Structure 1
Amino acid sequence: MGAAVADDVFDFRPGAQVPLHGSAGQTAATYALASAAYRDAKVDDLLGANSEWHKSEVKKGIWSLAAPNLGEAFSRAVQGRLLGGARKPLIQSFGTEPQVVVEHCLAANRIRRQRDSWLTAVMALCGLAFLPGLIAWLLVFQVRRAISKHANKRTAALFTTLMVAVAAVAVILLVKLPLSGFWAWYLRAAVVAPVVGWLWARQICERTAQDMRDRWDSLLSGGGVGAKIPEAVPGSPGETAAEQLRQSLAKLTAEQQSNAVFYAGPKGILGMGTRWGSWQLAEELVPREAGAEIHPFRSWDVIRAIHDQLRLLERGPLHTGGFPTPSIKHWIVSPIGENANKVARPTGTDVEAFQVKNHEIQRICNEQQFGSGDRHYLGVQFTLWDGQLVITMLITVTVLHETLRIEITGHALGPVHSLFTTKPEPKTKEVAKPIKFWETVERKLPLIEPDEVVRLAVRAPFTWYPPLLDHIGGKLVLPEPFGLRHAWADKPWRHRFMADDALRTATPVLRVVHAAAIKVLEENGVNTEQFGTRSGVLSGLVQAPTPTKADVYDA
């Protein structure tokens, strides 16, 4: 399906565009992922947040001094992957709003571009104009960076000696030179100008770093600071870049709402998490009365009855809270290889705006139950813990010869990794009081360290062409098939209450499904005695479920 189909439905509407975001209050996971765009940690920290099946990587550049930090690499990678002109299909991010995350990536990149414009001017005035001094100072910082990776007494002593030698040469150049006239003053300026530029650049970087940290803290505190991206709002019909960006955001939202998902073997259904439990009811279809015939019915008739009953899950005989309103949806599941690095969404006349149409859903449900092809599942999904836990129960009904099988599987997608939920901490140093020297006090340090100023100043002139910057400094390579949520999802079983919520969901869902199915069978003249017995056995077994890797068959 081409982008034009999604654009026709979601883009060219008069008036303001209202994003199709998830339910209100499901913001914790969204804001946690969005906060990564403003972080100033090392990019390698992100590798520790990889999930079991989906590994992001850091591609090193040719100059380590120009390497990106976590926020720069994350924002650049997510923006390119989700909004790129030739981007591949995405995996849905359940429990989150991908458009909000990518908007914050755009906002963070915009703040950095404004900072880099100033830094580029500083580099031109105080660096490139005095190139010999700039090269000398960059060499010192490069050596210092290399030595810091292999810190020991000998290398530390070597670096100290080098710094003393550079300082001595600098003093000689400032005081007395063998040259005279213009070149003598130029060489003196070449030593001093980069230092002046560094002080100027430090002030610029400190202001931006404080702004970034304020946004990072606000997102994790629930304030939800808005992402300012004026470049996504066309001011006139001729602004093609802004219009293209607006359409890309609309396409992202449309794809998030797609009812087509992908089953990748042991990795489970991508975006929903691995399958942790499975319960099957399979019995023979026998007429209720001897000599009579069963009234004809199809799998869709059973599914439709189950769908109607699942909508009443939030209702109960007691006023004790219970289930929130679930999302009940018909899913079309396509099989892909375990190690597939891309997916292909359904196309054709039966698909509109990434949505498989209802008549095609019914056809797949009734006819594609054996052999190759997509399969139909009815899903009931609970998004809990402000989006940090997504519980999905999938139901499928198949009829082969005279056997009707109802299969219920449980999927659980855990919270985003704790890396994304850590708030910024001020940089402080414990120092002794001037008079009461036996007492200490914490002194607030600048957010930007000397090496960081140099790194940002070096990267600034290359930001006008991001591919070149990626080649020089390196970049973050996202796991494929990529989805914002499942790439950095943790397991819910490590959180006691989240695990309890997932396990408790199975029993009531299973009973509602069985009751609805048996009612349809009774209405169509089927002897439901065996179905009822088997349902009772499963109802007893499911009361003490334990999570397993149901997609990893021990064979």
Structure 2
Amino acid sequence: MSSFDFSPGAQVPLAGGAGQTAPTGALASAAYRDGPVDAILGANTEWHKCAVSAPRVKLLRPDLGEAFAHAVQNRLLGGGRKPLIQSFGMEPQVVVEHCLAANSIRRARDTRLTVIMVLFGVLFLPGLLLYLGVFALRRSVADSTNKRAGLLVTPLLIALGVLGVLFLLKMPFGGFWAWYLRACVVAPPVGWWFAKRACEATARDLRERWAGLLSGGGIGAKIPEAVPRDPNQKAAEVLRQSLAKLSAEQRSNSVFYAGPKGILGLGTRWGSWQLAEELVPREPGSEIHPFRSYDVIRAIHDQLKLLARGPLHTGGFPEPDVRHWIVTPIGENADSVSRPEGTHVDDFQIRDHEVQRICNEQQFDAGDRHYLGTQFTLWDGQLVITMMTTVTVLHETLRIEVTGHALGPVHSLFMGKPSPKKITKPKAVRFWETKDHMLPLVDANEVVRLAARAPLTWYPPVLEYLGGKLSLPEPFGLRHAWAAQPWRHRFMADDALRTATPVLRVVHQAALRVLDEHGVDTTKFGARSGALSGGVQEAAPRKADVYDA
């Protein structure tokens, strides 16, 4: 059998389609970040909160990028992964691929550090343990608020240094062990120097990728392990299939309603408008021509597709994404979701015949519900406005409900670019002036932390047990987990509020046309539509999913 080959490590696009680059780059940049992992707790929202477990050994704690990249990779590509919530306005596959790339970069660094640890640390274990003890003592004193302890430890460290030099120059005994103990004093600092060079090179690479993603350019994610070179590379094939499954789930037309949390992934439901009137024949004594809910929805769908057109050449709406959604109710505190299965589902997509059946028949009692979604991705993907329309017919009453949902920008934590590490000090002579002193990207504490973690990175469960890990909120979706409210941004809030009026009018016009074609008296419908058209202009967003009863 002839083997097949691809170009190794194809460059992955930095973001998805047009208008979806900002949140994709922001979340992907988290995989390359440094800094304390606890910083991500500040990005928690009211409904979706991630958690960071306390380290049992502080020396083995992860930084933000390490914890984020491993958590996202394990959650979205792990063997026992659970269903995901769609990430609207971005491409989650690109974020996952950058997490894979960041983990590969760190794995290469950890391989070098492991070799250095073996050659300059494990082979000279007494010296390594002594230096680690001194480092732990110095670190604990630095973290302590007890100033007296700091004053006592400093002379102790100086005394240990002097004793080490004397011990190095004149041993109390000779032979092999004397030279071995001398090497135990010298080898760890030499290994630390090599480790520092390896850590600084990797830190520069990670920071360049971090800055590039937030600037809209940079280097693409290179993941050669996801490109199988022959049919026997099962791990690469499994990874490729997992990425394909992630993209298919992102395109699913099945979403979930979780009580006060609203429809997961769509953001806050801030407004709701209902038109409900009695179905009366236009001509007394005549009958209404039969029609179904889906006939009205189909007319509304076709009309909403034309929202980008207008009588004046003034810009206006971009091309909307109009789709049929099936909404499944789940518990407010549910920690997982279950996607529909069966013959009516194809690659996470509910087939058209099942969509029509749900639209026409499941309007009351238990079961899924049908909605027609009109989605606008704005502000380079930072704002996603979704207007959901549903049509129900109960007895002789037809009800058309339009609800507005707004998914805000990614939390500002993910938007910060890397800043140079420096310290500002007054000048020696002109003490009233200050001067910036550049600090190394990787300080001594960070080198020791990375070197200590490196051998354990090959056993992630042990490393997570000792150093702690990041736990993602469930049900998990990359976008809604760290989305801020759009109402703090005036222009974003204006865009969300302005969308409701034209969408509502188009929905009503299309529905009234269908009713008129089927012999329905639209007088009351028209009057109610006019009243709603005036009321929707009130700029008053509210929490429509929280029923204050």
TM range (shorter): over 0.9
Counterpart of 1:242 (choices 230, 236, 250) is 236
CA distance in 2, matches of 1:377, 1:384: 22
Separation in structure 2 between the aligned mates of residue 202 and residue 98 of structure 1, nearest angstrom: 34
Aligned twin of 1:407: 401
Give the structure 1 partner of residue 4 of structure 2.
none
Q: Which residue of 1 aligns with 2:418?
A: 424
Deviates more, 1:277-286 or 1:223-232: 223-232
Return the match for 1:529 from 523, 540, 547.
Answer: 523
Name the CA distance, whole Å, in 1 between partners of 2:140 and 2:338: 44
**Stretch moving more, 373-382 or 51-60:** 51-60
Name the CA shift for 1:17/1:41 in 2 (closer, same or farther; >3 Å).
closer
CA deviation map 1:66-111 (0-9, x unaligned)? 1000000000000011111110000000001001000000000000
Which has the higher mean CA deviation after the structures are superposed, 129-138 or 305-314? 129-138
Deviation of the 1:394 alpha carbon: 0.2
The letter of the residue matching 2:258 is A
**Distance in structure 1 (CA, Å) of the matches to 2:41 and 2:426:** 38
Equivalent residue number for residue 250 of structure 2: 256
Is residue 127 of structure 2 the alignment partner of residue 121 of structure 1?
no
| Matching of residue 473 in structure 1 with residue 467 in structure 2 | yes
Which amino acid is the alignment partner of residue 129 of structure 1? L
C-alpha deviation, 1:18, in angstroms: 10
In structure 2, what residue type is equivalent to 1:220? Answer: L
Which residue, 486, 501, 523 being the options, matches 2:480? Answer: 486
1:269-418 matched pairs, under 5 angstroms = 269-418=263-412
Pairs aligned (count): 540
Equivalent position of 1:11 in the other structure = none
Deviation at 1:30, TM superposition (A): 0.2
1: CA distance between counterparts of 2:156 and 2:538? Answer: 68
Residue 17 of structure 1 and its aligned partner are, at CA, apart by 13
**SS of alignment partner, residue 286 of structure 1:** coil
Shift of 1:41: 1.2
The one-letter code of the counterpart of 2:117 is M
Aligned partner of 1:192 in structure 2 is: 186
Q: Taking structure 1 as the reference length, what is the TM-score of the superposition?
A: 0.95
Distance 2:359 2:399 in 1: 13
State the alpha-carbon separation in 1 of the partners of residues 348 and 11 from structure 2.
18
Cα separation, 1, equivalents of 2:338 and 2:138:
48
Work out which of the residue numbers 538, 545, 549 in structure 2 matches 1:544.
538
Tell me which moved more, 162-171 or 74-83. 162-171
> Kindly tell me: are residues 17 and 110 of structure 1, through their superposed partners in 2, closer, same or farther at Cα, counting changes over 3 Å?
closer
Give 2:26's match in structure 1, choosing from 28, 32, 41. Answer: 32
Cα distance, 1:374 vs structure 2: 0.3
What is the DSSP-based 3-state SS (H/G/I as helix, E as strand, rest coil) of the residue aligned with 1:100?
Answer: helix
Q: CA deviation at 1:133?
A: 1.1
Cα pair 1:276 1:549 within 8 Å, conserved: yes
In 1, the alpha carbon distance for the partners of 2:333 and 2:155 equals: 52
Please list every run of 5 or more consecutive structure 2 residues that lacks an aligned counterpart in the other structure. Answer: 1-9
Amino acid at match of 1:392: T
- Alignment correspondent of 1:450: 444
Amino acid across the alignment from 1:68: P
What does residue range 83-122 of structure 1 map to in structure 2 within 5 Å?
Answer: 83-122=77-116
Partner of 2:148: 154
Q: 1:310 to 1:124 in 2, by over 3 A?
A: same
Distance 1:179 1:531 in 2: 103
CA 1:62 to 1:17, structure 2 compared with 1: closer, same or farther past 3 Å?
closer
- String of CA shifts for 1:419-456, please: whole Å, max 9, x gaps: 10000001123356677676543232210011000000
Q: Distance in 2 between matches of 1:360 and 1:459?
A: 52
Answer yes or no: is the 8 Å Cα contact 2:33–2:64 preserved in 1. yes
Alpha carbons of structure 1 residues 199 and 397: separation in structure 2 relative to 1, 3 Å? same
Greater mean deviation of Cα atoms: 21-30 or 503-512: 21-30
Once the 2 structures are TM-superposed, how far is the Cα of residue 231 of structure 1 from its aligned partner?
A: 0.7
Q: Secondary structure at the match of 2:390?
A: strand
Shift of 1:553: 0.6
Aligned partners of 1:159, 1:67: CA distance in 2, in Å? 24
Q: How far is 1:145 from its partner?
A: 2.8
Please point out which of 211, 227, 230 is paired with 1:217.
211
Aligned residues of 1:260 and 1:332 also touching (Cα < 8 A):
yes
Structure 1 stretch 508-517 or stretch 215-224: which is displaced more?
215-224
Q: Does 1:81 align with 2:67?
A: no
- 1:30-65 Cα shifts (integer Å, max 9, x gaps): 000000000001100001011211000012232110
State the partner residue of 2:59: 65
TM-score, reference length from structure 2: 0.96
SS in 1 for 2:266: coil
State the alpha-carbon separation in 2 of the partners of residues 345 and 249 from structure 1.
18
Q: Is the 8 A contact 2:16 2:94 kept in 1?
A: no
| CA distance in 1 between partners of 2:11 and 2:162 (Å) | 63
Q: Which blocks of at least 5 consecutive residues in structure 1 are unaligned?
A: 1-15
Cα deviation, residue 22, structure 1: 4.7
**Equivalent position of 2:5 in the other structure:** none
Q: 1:201 to 1:424 in 2, by over 3 A?
A: same
One-letter amino acid matched to 2:480: H
What secondary structure, in the 3-state scheme, does the structure 2 residue paired with 1:463 have?
Answer: helix
Q: Could you tell me how far apart the structure 2 residues matched to 1:23 and 1:317 are?
A: 28
